[in-house]
Amino acid sequence: MRLVKLIANLGYGSRKEIQTAIKHGWVTDRDGNTLKADAKTAHEDILFDDEPLDPAVGMVVLMNKPLGYTCSTKDQGKLVYDLLPDRFRVRKPALSTIGRLDKETSGALLFTDDGDLLHRVISPKADVPKIYEAELDRPLNGSEATLFASGEMMLENEHKPLKPAELEVLDDTHVRLTLHEGRYHQVRRMFAAAGNHVTALTRTHIGRLGLDGVSEGEWMLLDEDQLAKIFA
Protein backbone atom coordinates (compact mmCIF):
# COMPACT_ATOMS: atom_id res chain seq x y z
CA MET A 1 0.00 0.00 0.00
CA ARG A 2 1.39 3.39 -0.93
CA LEU A 3 2.36 5.57 2.01
CA VAL A 4 -0.26 8.22 1.21
CA LYS A 5 -3.12 5.72 1.19
CA LEU A 6 -1.87 3.99 4.33
CA ILE A 7 -1.79 7.18 6.40
CA ALA A 8 -5.05 8.52 4.95
CA ASN A 9 -6.84 5.27 5.81
CA LEU A 10 -5.70 5.70 9.41
CA GLY A 11 -7.64 8.98 9.52
CA TYR A 12 -4.78 11.47 9.61
CA GLY A 13 -6.24 13.43 6.70
CA SER A 14 -7.35 13.22 3.09
CA ARG A 15 -4.91 11.88 0.52
CA LYS A 16 -4.26 15.43 -0.61
CA GLU A 17 -3.51 16.51 2.97
CA ILE A 18 -1.17 13.55 3.47
CA GLN A 19 0.65 14.38 0.25
CA THR A 20 1.18 17.89 1.61
CA ALA A 21 2.42 16.49 4.92
CA ILE A 22 4.94 14.31 3.10
CA LYS A 23 6.05 17.26 0.99
CA HIS A 24 6.69 19.30 4.15
CA GLY A 25 8.72 16.52 5.78
CA TRP A 26 6.23 15.66 8.52
CA VAL A 27 6.38 11.94 7.72
CA THR A 28 9.66 10.33 8.79
CA ASP A 29 11.15 7.06 9.93
CA ARG A 30 12.40 6.41 13.47
CA ASP A 31 15.84 7.67 12.51
CA GLY A 32 14.43 11.03 11.47
CA ASN A 33 14.77 10.47 7.75
CA THR A 34 12.09 12.17 5.65
CA LEU A 35 9.96 9.64 3.76
CA LYS A 36 8.76 9.96 0.18
CA ALA A 37 5.35 8.89 -1.09
CA ASP A 38 6.75 5.66 -2.54
CA ALA A 39 8.67 4.65 0.61
CA LYS A 40 8.58 0.96 1.60
CA THR A 41 9.14 1.58 5.32
CA ALA A 42 7.43 -0.82 7.76
CA HIS A 43 4.27 0.51 9.43
CA GLU A 44 5.77 0.38 12.93
CA ASP A 45 8.76 2.47 11.83
CA ILE A 46 6.76 5.39 10.39
CA LEU A 47 6.28 8.60 12.37
CA PHE A 48 3.72 11.30 11.61
CA ASP A 49 4.60 14.65 13.15
CA ASP A 50 7.17 12.83 15.33
CA GLU A 51 4.60 10.35 16.71
CA PRO A 52 4.26 6.64 15.77
CA LEU A 53 1.32 5.83 13.53
CA ASP A 54 -1.78 4.29 15.04
CA PRO A 55 -1.96 0.50 14.57
CA ALA A 56 -3.07 -0.92 11.24
CA VAL A 57 -6.28 -2.94 10.83
CA GLY A 58 -6.83 -5.08 13.90
CA MET A 59 -6.64 -2.22 16.40
CA VAL A 60 -8.55 -2.82 19.63
CA VAL A 61 -9.37 -0.03 22.10
CA LEU A 62 -10.63 -0.42 25.66
CA MET A 63 -12.56 2.56 27.06
CA ASN A 64 -13.86 3.20 30.55
CA LYS A 65 -17.17 4.63 29.37
CA PRO A 66 -18.69 7.37 31.56
CA LEU A 67 -22.40 7.78 32.22
CA GLY A 68 -24.35 9.91 29.77
CA TYR A 69 -22.56 8.82 26.59
CA THR A 70 -24.22 6.90 23.76
CA CYS A 71 -22.54 4.10 21.77
CA SER A 72 -23.34 5.60 18.38
CA THR A 73 -21.92 7.74 15.62
CA LYS A 74 -25.23 9.40 14.77
CA ASP A 75 -27.31 10.00 17.93
CA GLN A 76 -27.73 13.46 19.39
CA GLY A 77 -25.88 14.42 22.54
CA LYS A 78 -22.63 13.01 23.92
CA LEU A 79 -21.15 10.08 22.00
CA VAL A 80 -18.41 7.66 23.06
CA TYR A 81 -16.55 8.61 19.88
CA ASP A 82 -16.21 12.15 21.26
CA LEU A 83 -13.76 10.70 23.80
CA LEU A 84 -11.45 9.29 21.11
CA PRO A 85 -9.11 11.14 18.72
CA ASP A 86 -11.01 12.64 15.78
CA ARG A 87 -9.00 10.57 13.33
CA PHE A 88 -10.43 7.33 14.82
CA ARG A 89 -13.85 8.28 13.43
CA VAL A 90 -12.66 8.24 9.82
CA ARG A 91 -10.40 5.19 9.79
CA LYS A 92 -10.93 2.74 6.96
CA PRO A 93 -12.16 0.16 7.86
CA ALA A 94 -14.34 1.97 10.40
CA LEU A 95 -13.82 1.67 14.15
CA SER A 96 -16.93 0.15 15.77
CA THR A 97 -17.97 -0.70 19.30
CA ILE A 98 -17.97 -4.40 20.18
CA GLY A 99 -21.47 -4.57 21.62
CA ARG A 100 -22.93 -1.60 23.43
CA LEU A 101 -23.50 -0.07 26.83
CA ASP A 102 -26.62 2.03 27.22
CA LYS A 103 -26.44 5.70 28.12
CA GLU A 104 -26.94 5.06 31.84
CA THR A 105 -24.36 2.25 32.09
CA SER A 106 -20.64 2.88 32.58
CA GLY A 107 -17.51 0.78 32.37
CA ALA A 108 -15.64 -1.50 29.99
CA LEU A 109 -16.35 -0.89 26.31
CA LEU A 110 -14.33 -2.26 23.39
CA PHE A 111 -13.80 -0.84 19.90
CA THR A 112 -12.19 -2.46 16.87
CA ASP A 113 -11.87 -2.11 13.11
CA ASP A 114 -11.53 -5.91 12.74
CA GLY A 115 -14.91 -7.34 11.80
CA ASP A 116 -13.85 -10.94 12.43
CA LEU A 117 -12.70 -10.09 15.96
CA LEU A 118 -15.90 -8.16 16.65
CA HIS A 119 -18.05 -11.16 15.73
CA ARG A 120 -15.77 -13.52 17.64
CA VAL A 121 -16.27 -11.55 20.87
CA ILE A 122 -20.05 -11.20 20.58
CA SER A 123 -20.74 -14.69 19.18
CA PRO A 124 -22.75 -16.90 21.57
CA LYS A 125 -20.33 -19.72 20.70
CA ALA A 126 -17.43 -17.76 22.18
CA ASP A 127 -19.17 -17.56 25.57
CA VAL A 128 -17.17 -14.49 26.59
CA PRO A 129 -18.42 -13.61 30.10
CA LYS A 130 -19.24 -10.01 30.98
CA ILE A 131 -19.11 -8.96 34.62
CA TYR A 132 -21.27 -6.14 35.99
CA GLU A 133 -21.60 -4.44 39.34
CA ALA A 134 -25.06 -3.11 40.16
CA GLU A 135 -26.55 -0.96 42.87
CA LEU A 136 -30.15 -1.85 43.69
CA ASP A 137 -33.06 0.22 44.89
CA ARG A 138 -34.08 -2.34 47.55
CA PRO A 139 -32.35 -5.12 49.50
CA LEU A 140 -32.19 -8.55 47.88
CA ASN A 141 -34.88 -11.03 48.89
CA GLY A 142 -32.48 -14.00 48.82
CA SER A 143 -33.94 -15.89 45.86
CA GLU A 144 -32.17 -14.01 43.07
CA ALA A 145 -29.01 -16.13 42.84
CA THR A 146 -30.98 -19.35 42.41
CA LEU A 147 -33.31 -17.75 39.88
CA PHE A 148 -30.52 -16.27 37.78
CA ALA A 149 -28.51 -19.53 37.83
CA SER A 150 -31.45 -21.74 36.91
CA GLY A 151 -31.24 -21.44 33.14
CA GLU A 152 -35.03 -21.21 33.18
CA MET A 153 -35.56 -17.49 33.75
CA MET A 154 -37.71 -15.82 31.10
CA LEU A 155 -37.75 -12.10 30.38
CA GLU A 156 -40.91 -10.28 29.36
CA ASN A 157 -41.75 -10.54 25.63
CA GLU A 158 -39.05 -13.18 25.04
CA HIS A 159 -39.50 -16.84 24.20
CA LYS A 160 -36.12 -18.30 25.11
CA PRO A 161 -34.86 -18.63 28.69
CA LEU A 162 -31.70 -16.87 29.78
CA LYS A 163 -28.43 -18.72 30.07
CA PRO A 164 -27.41 -19.34 33.69
CA ALA A 165 -25.80 -16.28 35.28
CA GLU A 166 -23.73 -16.07 38.46
CA LEU A 167 -24.70 -13.61 41.20
CA GLU A 168 -22.26 -12.58 43.92
CA VAL A 169 -23.74 -10.57 46.78
CA LEU A 170 -21.44 -7.77 47.93
CA ASP A 171 -23.99 -6.35 50.37
CA ASP A 172 -27.79 -6.11 50.57
CA THR A 173 -28.06 -3.68 47.67
CA HIS A 174 -24.74 -4.16 45.85
CA VAL A 175 -24.08 -7.17 43.63
CA ARG A 176 -21.73 -8.57 41.02
CA LEU A 177 -23.37 -10.40 38.12
CA THR A 178 -21.63 -12.49 35.44
CA LEU A 179 -23.52 -12.93 32.16
CA HIS A 180 -22.76 -15.28 29.28
CA GLU A 181 -24.92 -13.54 26.70
CA GLY A 182 -25.89 -9.98 25.89
CA ARG A 183 -29.58 -9.32 25.56
CA TYR A 184 -31.12 -5.85 25.45
CA HIS A 185 -30.84 -4.16 28.89
CA GLN A 186 -30.42 -7.64 30.33
CA VAL A 187 -29.18 -6.83 33.84
CA ARG A 188 -31.86 -4.21 34.43
CA ARG A 189 -34.59 -6.50 33.09
CA MET A 190 -33.44 -9.44 35.20
CA PHE A 191 -33.67 -7.47 38.42
CA ALA A 192 -36.97 -5.90 37.35
CA ALA A 193 -38.35 -9.42 36.84
CA ALA A 194 -37.12 -10.28 40.33
CA GLY A 195 -39.02 -7.32 41.79
CA ASN A 196 -36.15 -4.86 42.14
CA HIS A 197 -34.69 -1.87 40.29
CA VAL A 198 -31.10 -1.15 39.22
CA THR A 199 -30.08 2.37 40.21
CA ALA A 200 -26.46 2.21 38.97
CA LEU A 201 -24.70 -0.22 36.65
CA THR A 202 -21.06 -0.67 35.61
CA ARG A 203 -19.43 -3.32 33.45
CA THR A 204 -16.12 -4.15 35.11
CA HIS A 205 -14.78 -6.99 32.94
CA ILE A 206 -15.04 -8.50 29.48
CA GLY A 207 -13.67 -12.00 29.88
CA ARG A 208 -10.73 -11.53 32.24
CA LEU A 209 -9.97 -8.06 30.84
CA GLY A 210 -10.65 -5.38 33.43
CA LEU A 211 -10.24 -1.63 33.66
CA ASP A 212 -7.06 -1.51 35.73
CA GLY A 213 -5.24 1.74 34.97
CA VAL A 214 -8.00 3.15 32.74
CA SER A 215 -9.76 6.06 34.43
CA GLU A 216 -13.34 7.03 33.65
CA GLY A 217 -13.53 8.68 30.24
CA GLU A 218 -10.06 7.42 29.26
CA TRP A 219 -9.01 4.70 26.80
CA MET A 220 -6.04 2.53 25.92
CA LEU A 221 -4.85 0.43 22.97
CA LEU A 222 -4.73 -3.28 23.78
CA ASP A 223 -1.66 -5.39 23.13
CA GLU A 224 -1.76 -9.12 22.34
CA ASP A 225 -1.53 -10.20 25.99
CA GLN A 226 -4.40 -7.92 27.01
CA LEU A 227 -6.50 -9.03 24.05
CA ALA A 228 -5.97 -12.68 25.00
CA LYS A 229 -7.58 -12.01 28.40
CA ILE A 230 -10.93 -11.50 26.66
CA PHE A 231 -10.98 -15.16 25.63
CA ALA A 232 -9.09 -16.65 28.59
- Please give the positions annotated as active site: 102
Give CA–CA dist 200/182, Å, rounded. 18
E strands within the chain? 27-29, 46-48, 51-52, 60-65, 96-98, 105-112, 130-136, 166-171, 174-179, 198-206, 219-221
Query: 3-class SS at 70?
Result: strand
Query: Is residue 80 a contact partner of residue 86, using CB atoms and an 8 Å limit?
Result: no
- For 218, residues 6+ apart whose C-beta sits below 8 A from its C-beta are 63, 64, 83
